[in-house]
Amino acid sequence: MESNDTTAQFRFSAKWTLVVFLAALSFHLYFVTVNWTYGFMPGHEFRQAQTAIITEYINKQNNFGIDYETPILGKPWAFPLEFPFYQWTVALVKRTLSLEYFEAARGVSLTCFYLSLPALFMLLGSWRIDGAKRWLLLALILVSPVYIFYSRAFLIDPMAMAFSAWFLTAFVRAMETRSWKWWGWATAVGTIGILIKSLVFLVWLFPAALFGAWTLWREWRRGGSTRSLLRTIGFGVGAVVAPYAAITWWVGYTDAIKEVHRSAWIFTSKALTEGNFGTFSLESRLARETWSVMGERWSETLAPPWFILSFLLLGVLLCPKARKFILGAFVIWMFGQLAFPYAYALQDYYFYAGAVFVVLALGFAAAGLIEELRAPLAARLCLAAAPFIVMGHTYLTGYYQLQSVKSPGGSGMTALFQDMLHSESVIVGVGQDWSAIVPYYSKRRALMVRSGLEYDQDYLRGAIDDLDGAIISALFISGERRSNKKVVEDLTTITGVVPTPLFRHLDTDVYVNPIFYSDLYNRLGPGGSVYPNVEPIDQPEGVDFTLNEFELHRNLAESVFPMIDPLPHRMRIRYGYSLSEIDGHDVLNFHPDSDLWIQPEKPSGRMRWRYGIKDTTWDREGAKSDGVDFIVWVESPDGERREIFRDEVVPVTDESKRGIIDAEFDYEAGPDEVLVFGCRARGNAAFDWAFVVDITEQ
Are 463 and 426 in contact, with CB atoms under 8 Å apart?
A: no
- Report the half-sphere exposure of 561 (CA within 13 A, side-chain side): 26
Q: What is the mean pLDDT of residues 109-121?
A: 98
pLDDT digits (tens, 9 = 90+) for 291-345: 899 999 999 999 999 999 999 999 999 999 999 999 999 999 999 898 888 888 8
pLDDT tens figures, 451-508:
999 999 999 999 998 887 788 999 999 999 999 999 999 999 889 888 899 999 999 9
Element containing residue 237 per DSSP (H, E): helix 226-238
Give residue 28's pLDDT: 98
Instruction: Collapse the DSSP code of 692 into the 3-class scheme (helix H, G, I; strand E, B; otherwise coil) and give the result.
Output: strand
pLDDT surpassing 90 at residue 74? yes
Question: Above pLDDT 90, what percent of the chain?
Answer: 71
* Residues 22/28/33/35 CA torsion (nearest 10 deg): 140
pLDDT of residue 116: 98
Please report, in angstroms and rounded to a whole number, the separation of the first and last CA atoms in the chain: 95
The CB density around residue 225, as the number of other CB atoms within 10 Å, is 9
Q: How many angstroms separate the most distant Cα atoms in the chain?
A: 111
DSSP letters, 138-189, are HHHHHT-HHHHHGGGSS-SHHHHHHHHHHHHHHHHHHHHH--HHHHHHHHHH
What is the C-alpha to C-alpha distance for residues 64 and 278, in angstroms, rounded to an integer? Answer: 33
At 4, is the pLDDT very low, low, confident or very high (cuts 50, 70, 90)?
Answer: very low
Where are the extended beta strands (E) located within 410-527?
426-430, 445-449, 472-478, 503-505, 508-512
Q: What is the pLDDT of residue 163?
A: 98
Q: Packing angle between helix 14-32 and helix 386-397, nearest 10 degrees? A: 10
Is the torsion defined by CA of 190, 193, 194, 198 positive or negative?
negative
527 pLDDT higher than 70: no
Please enumerate in sequence order all residues whose Cβ is within 8 A of that of 90, keeping only pairs 6 or more positions apart, or say none. 55, 101, 104, 105, 108, 154
Q: Which residues pair with 696 in a beta bridge?
A: 565, 608
- Domain-by-domain residue ranges, the chain? 14-402, 412-542, 550-697
pLDDT surpassing 60 at residue 280:
no
218: number of Cβ within 10 Å: 11
Mean pLDDT of the chain: 91
Q: Tell me: pLDDT of 283 over 80.
A: no
Tell me which CATH code domain 550-697 carries: 2.60.120.260
- The 8-class DSSP code of residue 696 comes to E
Q: Which CA distances in Å does 37 have to 30, 87, 476?
A: 14, 19, 29
Compute the distance between CA of residue 213 and CA of residue 462 in angstroms, rounded to an integer: 52
Show the beta-strand stretches assigned E in 479-556: 503-505, 508-512, 534-536, 550-551
Q: What is the pLDDT of residues 360-373, one digit of tens each?
A: 999 999 999 999 88
How far is residue 44's CA from residue 347's CA, in Å, rounded to a whole number? Answer: 7
